[in-house]
Chains A and B, each alone.
Chain A
């Protein structure tokens, strides 16, 4: 178990350090998120009246789209350099690779959210700093990276790669989208946490189920 934790930590550290040194992906995700936000601004007239209701949907879509960019890259280094086998040999159990990648993707998504939320608050003069709202985003991002890491592990090894990831991932993520948007929207509209409890339970259940299934099958994704 200690070995396992150690390898997860090393993997996360390796990926974050690699990303921090180039900052390719983070810059791209951040710019993409801002641009999507601007597209929304013109596509949907964000009048002050309806702004509060649809903020949760817009924020989530921006994070999901930017997250897809990140997921697409999460296995490319290993795939292109051919070090999947080396990774498999280096860890005590393959599930450590899944966990490491999932945590990295989760952290990257949260990092993008941390950048996006103040900008949205600033642009639209609507404070999003609400603990409940942030809790929903953290849960949603976990579900997203739990499913996304498994799917990205497969799509990176296919011919269509980036093209395939959203096609496979979005239908599977549909419950997460519904739950995040409904729960976050309710919270932003001033509902207490108890009222959106069902959605939070759904998110937690999704995260647990998908993480468990992924741990069970990830071995078959990565091992030749």
Chain B
């Protein structure tokens, strides 16, 4: 237990250090983009947050499959925690994107594929949280959560392709044919550090949140037991 605590604290410290380093690099190291000016700097954390959103939902789907396969409740704790954190980072990506879009596109919002996909994805996983809230039985809640996390993640790429078929104005950074946004090496380095920093941050948050989820479930169990002791066995839905 204590060695695990140490590892977790160490991970937290690494994440803190990396996030601070990324922040410093964004402020002082990365050059100011010629056309967009200072607002382009939001991009480093925007991309990192969007990446964590995708990663978190992938983790949820994988843990869902593992739960269905192995029936170990710890996978459910991780999946649930990942969805919660993923939603937070999706929101960060959307809001930082809006801050950038207002001066550059001259609007807070457009119906661009990436924007719409991100937002639809967020709603899909808000649904995940609602679904779990609607199920009282712990085992059933984990089972339904796992099934929904899998089907939701399968639908995300399809949403993206379909909105892409419409059209896009979002700058394509990776795999771009025509350079929408030319990046210098210093920009690439800053972005790489930001993404690594956010990934460590995500790992640390996920670990903490999973422990919390396990504790919550312990409390629920204890509460259920005291109720049984006081009122006798109750019919489970």
Contacts and interface: CB of A to CB of B under 8 A. Distances in A.
Interface of A: 147, 150-151, 154-155, 157-160, 164, 167-168, 170-172, 174-175, 178-179, 182, 198-199, 202, 205-206, 209-210, 213-214, 217, 220-221
Contacts of A202: 158, 161-162, 165
Given A172-B151, A213-B150, A205 B140 contact: no
B131 interface: yes
26 contacts: A147-B151, A150-B147, A151-B148, A154-B131, A154-B144, A158-B134, A159-B135, A159-B136, A164-B127, A164-B131, A167-B126, A167-B127, A170-B123, A171-B155, A174-B159, A175-B159, A182-B166, A199-B162, A210-B155, A213-B151, A214-B151, A217-B68, A217-B150, A220-B143, A220-B146, A221-B143
B161 A209 contact: no
A168 B127 contact: yes
Given A171-B127, A205-B158, A217-B68, 10 more contacts: A167-B127, A170-B123, A171-B155, A172-B124, A174-B162, A175-B155, A178-B163, A182-B166, A199-B162, A220-B147
Contacts of B155: 147, 171-172, 174-175, 210
A164 B134 contact: yes
B152 interface: yes
B1 interface: no
Interface of B: 68, 120-121, 123-124, 126-127, 130-131, 134-136, 140, 143-144, 146-148, 150-152, 154-155, 158-159, 161-163, 165-166, 237
A221 B158 contact: no
Nearest to B165: A198
Contacts of B68: 217, 220
A209 B154 CA distance: 8
